[in-house]
Structure 1
Amino acid sequence: MSNLFWLSDEQMARLRPFFPKSHGRPRVDDRRVLSGIIFINRNGLRWSDAPPECGPPK
């Protein structure tokens, strides 16, 4: 994956109010997760088939 992040800083700022708040457990990088979801949907893959840059398959 040559470009890990599919969303710009402006796009992430617009989406940030919709993310859940952290309650004790540290949150993962939201941009990384959303970029992984976009990559999976665009390429018709399962999460377990995604590159490791998208995060763990669980």
Structure 2
Amino acid sequence: MARTQGCSAALHGEWRKGIAACACAILGRSGELVGAIGMSGPDTRVKPKQIKEYSVH
């Protein structure tokens, strides 16, 4: 998913129990990968709807 969509999300402790996270690629002017950014937090505070919104680029 991350390669085709440019972002990835872990909604229900897929990465680590109790943690929700998302990450997105940062692309340069010609489309090359120049970096990435991600965020994570406790899944009791970071809800799936928020993760999906944050993952859209």
Q: Same fold (TM over 0.5)?
A: no
Answer 1 or 2: higher relative contact order, Cα 8 Å, separation at least 6: 1
TM-score (normalizing by structure 1): 0.23
Q: Which has the higher helix share?
A: 1
TM-score (normalizing by structure 2): 0.23
Q: Which has the higher strand share?
A: 2
